[in-house]
């Protein structure tokens, strides 16, 4: 495209809240054939809140230990647990030690107690049986909630349902992409059942969902699609998404997301409205048509 059409196109983009880091990305966006969307914070608001706490055994008061375990975690789910604990007046101590288990949860030590919070897999790997609560977990997951388990000193104590609302614009934005002939995929570290419930809500087909993807494997999903010969745009907001944003043909960061994601991306969607993905593609097409 000519420098003038690039300038005009970039200006139009900026007006809509689509910031291209350079003219080459405005030019490149029209070639996109597949869009891979992160779930949490991209399709959803990324503001999870605790909706259910079920005591499996022991005292409700020990929820304070669960919150203490989450105190040093930077995961949005941890923030949801902390907010719930504050609202319910639990006194939350500082953990003596804390460790994040990538893609699965956390492990912490508080006052001689060993506390585990996270997925089934995290529990099972520590020899904790989760069969007793499986029905409840699946009920949460079918509602699109993240089911989190908590164990204290090797005993399963709580199941926690955490909900994150889908952005009101996501469904329509995905439909717009499909109308442009673009394939839409979703990727998440969350459980398969939760992921499928959210995908269904926004119109992403079952076969286009990558769930339970570990943070270190997110970029591989982009390469898998690229190996099928597709030009891929990755859209995400998290630190976890940065490698995938960098490897994609076009990386698009949610403006309300982390600085790390914004730095790794080629385009920033300022307000986080996914409708701007289709807008960016159309703007790119128009810019390229004006060249000749
Ligand atoms: P995502 O960013 O898609 O949520 P992650 O890899 O960060 O993916 O997490 C995957 C899963 O691990 C979460 O859905 C949750 O079940 C569990 N998990 C991770 N961190 C925590 C935490 N701090 N507290 C509870 N569960 C966690
Ligand atoms: Mg995210």
What is the pLDDT at residue 110?
97
CA distance 95 to 104: 19
Contact call for residues 108 and 99 (beta carbons, < 8 A): yes
Q: Which of 205, 168, 144 is nearest to 43 (CA)?
A: 168
Q: Could you give the number of structural domains in the chain?
A: 2
Of the residues 123, 138, 163, the one at which a domain ends: 163
ipTM of the complex: 0.96
Of the residues 136, 163, 190, the one at which a domain ends: 163
State residue 209 phi and psi, 5-degree precision.
-110, 125
Ligand 1 centre distance from Cα of residue 119 (Å): 8
Q: Which of 287, 209, 222 is nearest to 250 (CA)?
A: 222
**Which residues form the domain of 210?**
3-45+166-289
Contact call for residues 238 and 224 (beta carbons, < 8 A): no
What is the pLDDT at residue 292?
45
Ligand 1 atom at minimal distance to the Cα of residue 215 = 6
| pLDDT, tens digit (0-9, with 9 covering 90-100), for 111-169 | 999 999 999 999 999 999 999 999 999 999 999 999 999 999 999 999 999 999 999 99
The total number of residues shown for the chain amounts to 292
Instruction: Kindly state if the Cβ of 240 falls inside 6 Å of ligand 1.
Output: yes
What is the pLDDT at residue 290?
73
Partner residues linked to 155 by β-bridges: 152
Shared domain for 154 and 78, answered yes or no, is: yes
Shared domain for 109 and 9, answered yes or no, is: no
CA distance 29 to 241: 19
In the predicted model, residues of the chain with pLDDT beneath 50 are: 292
| pLDDT, tens digit (0-9, with 9 covering 90-100), for 101-124 | 999 999 999 999 999 999 999 999
Measuring from atom 3 of ligand 1, which residue has the nearest CA?
Answer: 189
Give the number of the ligand closest to the Cα of residue 44. Answer: 2
What is the pLDDT at residue 100?
96
Shared domain for 39 and 180, answered yes or no, is: yes
Q: What is the value of pTM for the model shown?
A: 0.94
Shared domain for 244 and 193, answered yes or no, is: yes
């Amino acid at each position: 495209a000519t420098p003038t059409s690039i300038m005009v196109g970039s200006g139009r983009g900026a007006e809509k809240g689509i910031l291209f880091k350079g003219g080459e990305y405005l030019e490149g966006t029209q070639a996109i054939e597949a869009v891979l969307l992160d779930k949490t914070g991209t399709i959803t608001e990324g503001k999870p809140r605790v909706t259910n706490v079920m005591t499996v055994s022991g005292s409700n008061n020990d929820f304070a230990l669960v919150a203490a375990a989450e105190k040093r975690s930077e995961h949005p789910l941890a923030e949801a647990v902390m907010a719930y604990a504050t609202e319910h007046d639990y006194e939350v101590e500082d953990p003596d030690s804390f460790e994040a288990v990538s893609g699965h949860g956390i492990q912490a030590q508080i006052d001689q107690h060993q506390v585990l919070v996270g997925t089934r897999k995290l529990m099972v790997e520590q020899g904790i049986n989760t069969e007793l609560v499986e029905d409840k977990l699946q009920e949460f997951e079918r509602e699109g909630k993240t089911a989190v388990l908590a164990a204290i000193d090797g005993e399963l104590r709580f199941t926690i349902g955490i909900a994150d609302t889908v952005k009101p614009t996501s469904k329509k934005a995905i439909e717009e992409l499909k109308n442009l002939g673009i394939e839409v995929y979703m990727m998440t570290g969350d459980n398969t059942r939760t992921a499928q419930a959210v995908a269904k809500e926004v119109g992403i087909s079952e076969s286009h969902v990558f769930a339970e993807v570990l943070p270190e494997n997110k970029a591989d999903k982009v390469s898998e699609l690229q190996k099928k010969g597709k030009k891929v745009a990755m859209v995400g907001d998290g630190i976890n998404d940065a490698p995938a944003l960098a490897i994609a043909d076009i990386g698009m960061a949610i403006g309300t997301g982390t600085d790390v994601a914004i730095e790794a991306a080629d385009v920033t969607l300022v307000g986080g409205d996914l409708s701007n993905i289709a807008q960016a593609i159309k703007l790119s097409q128009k810019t390229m048509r004006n060249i000749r």
